[in-house]
Structure 1
Amino acid sequence: MRNWRLWKCVIQRWQTIAGSSIVTLCNINLSTTAQSPLPAVKIPPNTTDAIEPTIPLLSASQPTPAQAPEINAAPKRDRFSIKKVQVLGSTVLHSEIAALIKPYENREVTFEELIGLRSAITQVYIQNGYVTSGAFLPNNQSLNNGVVQIQVVEGELERIELSGLKRLQEGYVRKRLEIASKSPINRQRLEKALQLLQLDPLLEQVNAELTVGNAPGRSILKVRLKEAPAFHAGIAIENRQSPSIGSVQTNLFVVHDNLSGRGDRFSATYGITRGLDSYDINYTIPLSASNTTLLLRYSNSDSRIVEDAFRNLNIRGDTQTVSFGIRHPLVRSPENELALGLALDLRRSQTYLLKDIPFSFSAGAENGKSKVTVIRFSQDWVKRKPRQVLAARSQFSLGVDVNATINDSGTDGRFFSWLGQLQLVQELSKKNVLLIRIDTQLTPDSLLTPEQFSIGGMDTVRGYRQNQTVADNGILGSVEVRFPLTSNPEVLQVAPFFDIGKVWNNQNSAPDITTIASLGLGVRWLIQRDLSLRLDYGIPLTKIENQGNSLQDNGLYFSLRYQPF
């Protein structure tokens, strides 16, 4: 199951001339927000999958270090005076080889000792993963000058043979393997590249073998691949939105993970509630074999307040977001990943009263219009172990004075903020899993509504309506334990949880509610392979006045997802 970005619906109270309290503004956007899920983490349905330490690499016809004819056997009693040992053809392991040859210089040695030195050099190559490299003593050497030569043949990859690919271009796989197959061939480096391919969502199966090539020290890498299904489509029905615009949302989504055959991913989502009409389009394409990725995104939403108390006011809003970004992994292995990202977000929103009258419902907006141009610098880190996944994300956001809302109120498009996220998935036993999540946002500025931190809802603090309270700064924590009820732990699980969150402002007055917490129980049910149901019931520990009667207001959330493709 994939994480879907949240619509952010911000509700702010204001007083009419008559003094009645009215919830007025629903500022909705689809761009990256404070509570965006960690992009590098995928929570497993139950236990974390252990990454195999190795992938079958060497076939029965394993290449062996090339051996050339050696110096003709000499009587065992013969000894040679050796001043210097020259090792030719070696480009790696210089210190290790130097330590091996030092005891043989400036003394008399036997032929058997030279054979032993040659074998020791070959062995140090093999011990360091260079399994197709080796050393030999060249023929017809004259040892009268006291210099003996040992030739090293370092293993090279003659070619890569790929089979099984259909839509995915061979270059996508070949370039990723070529990075790891530079001479001399190293088994661990090659296995790491194959394991990363095995983790690639575009590939379902990867089998490889290294066979003998057509010359000494040369090998052929044969890789058999099976592509994973690239096209996905489905429908999700869930009460994830704020009741002010209609909490029950129907989402239609389509995803293609390999649109042009180059590993580029396209996704589109259309969502609708009683008061919301929205769509979201994403496109990502890898730029290099190291998985540097370009990201493009556009979202648009039209919303209106549909709660009975405010329907006659015809409050509505329009939001558009355009995003450009690039992400580059600095460290990438089956166990660890560290990546940096740089993005530019352009967000424009407009709110109206009585359908067509521009009107501001939040601080900083001018005649209902707010514009932000934000540069975001992110750092993502993931650590995987057989029974644990730990992920952290840091994001610095800088609102710049470029086509942005600028005023003297102290709340405008110029700001600086930091978002930190930490997530732990820990296997407690073979079937039970612990999930811990912490999010926080800190800023010295007063933020426009779309950049604020919100708590309340299915993905933050359950037991309260979506975006129950919003402010400039905030912190939330969640602890959940999943227990399977069937022999297959992925089919049916119960998940008791505890959620808590706190928000505060810098300049503007504090929200009516600053801290909320809840205890509850969730159910995760995989009804069949392509149909799943999620239920969460939260008991609020902080009393909220003037709540409505929606399922959210009564602490109940549901998500029904059908994905036939």
Structure 2
Amino acid sequence: MWRFGWIQIGCGASPFWHAIALVAASPAFAQTPPPPVLPLPSDLPPPPSLPSDPAPPPTLPLPPSPVSPPAPESVRFQLRDVEVQGSTVLQPEIAALIEPLRGQAVSFEDLVSLRSAITQLYIANGYVTSGAFLPNNQDLGSGIVRIQVIEGALEQIQITGLQRLQPNYVRDRLELAAQAPLNQQDLVEALQLLQLNPLIRQVNAELTAGSAPGRNLLLVAVQEADPVSLSLSVNNARSPSLGSNQLSVAATHSNLLGLGDSLSVSYGLTEGLDQFSVRYALPVNPQEGTVSLSFSRDDGRVVAADFADLGIRSNAETISIGFRQPIDRSPQTEFALSLGLDLRRSQTFILEDEPFSFSAGAEDGESNLTVLRFSQEWVDRDATRVLAARSQFSLGLNAFDATINTSGTDGEFFAWLGQFQYVQQVSPRLLLVSRVATQLTPDSLLSLERFGFGGVDTVRGYVQNQLVTDNGVLGSIEARLALDSADRLQLIAFVDAGYGWNNRAPDPPDPLVGVGLGLRWFATPDLALQLDYGIPLTQSDRQGSSLQENGIYFSVRSQL
């Protein structure tokens, strides 16, 4: 099962075959690719409130600027040109300040005003530690005046307060914004990005004068966040064929070796399904470029009463390696590119040990995929609005023993997945959340790559992965109303819809459309409970006695 925020891609088909399809659409039959890299949870809080100027500018000590000998204010001379030395930025703007004086009779006071105007130009553009002065011993009779600019630069970054995190992790990220001439706006933004880093609880900075004019020291005090997190969840989000009720535990160390590297391990258990996954990620540059490696294994068995005696079971494994690189990054926006390779293997059996294919393209129950994925991600957020989008191109390769056959459904394919989410704070108590996703492909896909909908994360009112197709479109709109002033209790009204079609197999007769209500309670900062009830408006012939098969979904999540 592919899960991206609320999007899932699995596999399946439809009376005996529909029950089998629910199994085949489960994670035991459709492996899980690497965790999505776009940070798109259901709730997207605004960035924390940060001081607008966490690094107050120092007073820049500039050399004295009298011209020797002093010229009386009434004495004027013909100005032929002004040579500005030491300036590497703002040249067009400086030239515009000089142009009105060129060729004019000017006084010494005019030169002082020009020098001050150049200094103010630097300050207005964020170069608060830069300034201009008039050097001594100039021959004004020549008509050529020199103005010297000292552009501010960081002499040293001093970091205190770190315990496990390596100082270079912080220093390298600040040095990206510390190139000469030092710009206060860039430095403030770098400090804000550090404050948003989950490895850091608090950062305070002070910019002070250094050993020479234009040289500065940046004093940074950092308080690290707890790198270890443990979560426990109980829900009924899995396929009823494998047991819908699931207990999951996950542990993460987000700073394993002091390099900002993370190790995550998770385990999930239902009546008929065991899921295990592990992921390691290592930042390789201060722009947050990250290399990741992950492994997952699912072992499933059909436990539905009508088919339990058939001994239907499966196992699946996924190995993924990827690289993600932000291209443009600020506290409010991010655009990133990702490249990854997935090796996906699954095997299905009947009568316990007899290989058997439940979906097109599999050979003796076995499906192997080697998939190259290229993704583009974009997020834009402020205190009341979030826009997020993700595009992913997947190319199935004839490599590493991928399933290749003449049936027209094998491991060679091309597919595009697009996802979009919009969150808007309408009022202090009303939040609107809308989501859209689509998968398009010209090929008939193996079950591992098909688009699945139905269930709490896609179309509520239906069982998990009720429909699976080659192509599909999903949409959802939620209104979340806070029932108390602390926003701990929320009433949720939603409309979900999904439609899919195939390239070789018959298309589903109708789309899935569900409406309903939910209740979410944040009992404590570390404990959240949610209950949803969805009403199917199409294909509503409900069967089974589980809560999920009757449109009821629950979730309890605890951060330990």
In the TM superposition, 1:175-324 aligns within 5 A as 175-324=172-321
1:468 matches 2:471? no
Q: Which amino acid aligns with 1:539?
A: I
- How far 1:64 moved relative to its partner? 2.4
Partner of 1:308: helix, strand, or coil? Answer: coil
Partner of 2:110: helix, strand, or coil? Answer: helix
Give the aligned partner of residue 351 of structure 2: 354
1:82 matches 2:83? no
| Percent of residue pairs bearing the same amino acid type | 50
1:451 matches 2:449? yes
In the TM superposition, 1:9-408 aligns within 5 A as 10-13=11-14, 25-26=23-24, 27-32=28-33, 39-44=38-43, 48-49=46-47, 52=50, 54-58=52-56, 62-64=58-60, 66-72=62-68, 73-402=70-399, 403-408=401-406
Cα deviation 1:538-559 (Å, max 9, x = unaligned): 0111133362111111001111
Q: Is the 8 A contact 2:5 2:42 kept in 1?
A: no
- How far 1:6 moved relative to its partner? 8.7
Separation in 2, partners of 1:406, 1:9: 20
Separation in 2, partners of 1:78, 1:435: 70
Separation in 2, partners of 1:28, 1:250: 19
Match of 2:537 among 537, 541, 561: 541
Separation in 1, partners of 2:174, 2:157: 8
Give the aligned partner of residue 517 of structure 2: 521
Partner of 1:101: helix, strand, or coil? Answer: helix
Distance 1:6 1:32, change over 3 A: farther
Distance 1:526 1:160, change over 3 A: same
Distance 1:534 1:37, change over 3 A: farther
Separation in 1, partners of 2:8, 2:417: 18
Separation in 2, partners of 1:310, 1:406: 31
Partner of 2:306: helix, strand, or coil? Answer: helix
Q: Is the 8 A contact 1:235 1:563 kept in 2?
A: yes
Q: How many residues align?
A: 553
- How far 1:41 moved relative to its partner? 2.6
Q: Is the 8 A contact 1:382 1:390 kept in 2?
A: yes
Distance 1:306 1:233, change over 3 A: same
Give the aligned partner of residue 486 of structure 1: 484
Q: Which amino acid aligns with 1:427?
A: Q
- How far 1:3 moved relative to its partner? 8.1
Separation in 1, partners of 2:540, 2:228: 44
Cα deviation 1:293-313 (Å, max 9, x = unaligned): 111110001101000100111
- How far 1:91 moved relative to its partner? 0.8
Separation in 2, partners of 1:7, 1:84: 68
Q: Is the 8 A contact 1:40 1:381 kept in 2?
A: no
Q: Is the 8 A contact 1:417 1:442 kept in 2?
A: yes
Match of 1:553 among 549, 555, 560: 549
Separation in 1, partners of 2:547, 2:116: 75
Q: Is the 8 A contact 1:54 1:195 kept in 2?
A: no
Cα deviation 1:368-390 (Å, max 9, x = unaligned): 00001000000000011221010
RMSD: 2.1
Give the aligned partner of residue 433 of structure 1: 431
Cα deviation 1:388-423 (Å, max 9, x = unaligned): 010000000000111210111110001000000000
- How far 1:31 moved relative to its partner? 2.3
Distance 1:427 1:5, change over 3 A: closer
Structure 1 alignment gaps of length 5 or more: none
- How far 1:179 moved relative to its partner? 0.9
Q: Is the 8 A contact 1:531 1:561 kept in 2?
A: yes
Separation in 1, partners of 2:308, 2:549: 19
Separation in 1, partners of 2:187, 2:297: 44
- How far 1:56 moved relative to its partner? 2.2
Give the aligned partner of residue 410 of structure 2: 412
Partner of 2:374: helix, strand, or coil? Answer: strand
Distance 1:181 1:314, change over 3 A: same
Cα deviation 1:41-84 (Å, max 9, x = unaligned): 34437x6346547242206xx22252334214321111122212
Partner of 1:428: helix, strand, or coil? Answer: strand
Give the aligned partner of residue 528 of structure 2: 532
Distance 1:481 1:65, change over 3 A: farther
Distance 1:51 1:331, change over 3 A: farther
Q: Which amino acid aligns with 2:54?
A: P
Q: Is the 8 A contact 2:5 2:41 kept in 1?
A: no
- How far 1:226 moved relative to its partner? 1.3
Q: Is the 8 A contact 2:11 2:469 kept in 1?
A: no
1:562 matches 2:552? no
Distance 1:6 1:496, change over 3 A: closer
TM-score (norm 2): 0.95
Separation in 1, partners of 2:51, 2:378: 21
Give the aligned partner of residue 419 of structure 2: 421
Partner of 1:309: helix, strand, or coil? Answer: coil
Separation in 2, partners of 1:399, 1:212: 58
Q: Is the 8 A contact 1:358 1:368 kept in 2?
A: yes
Distance 1:9 1:105, change over 3 A: closer
Q: Which amino acid aligns with 1:538?
A: G
- How far 1:501 moved relative to its partner? 0.5
Q: Is the 8 A contact 1:38 1:421 kept in 2?
A: no
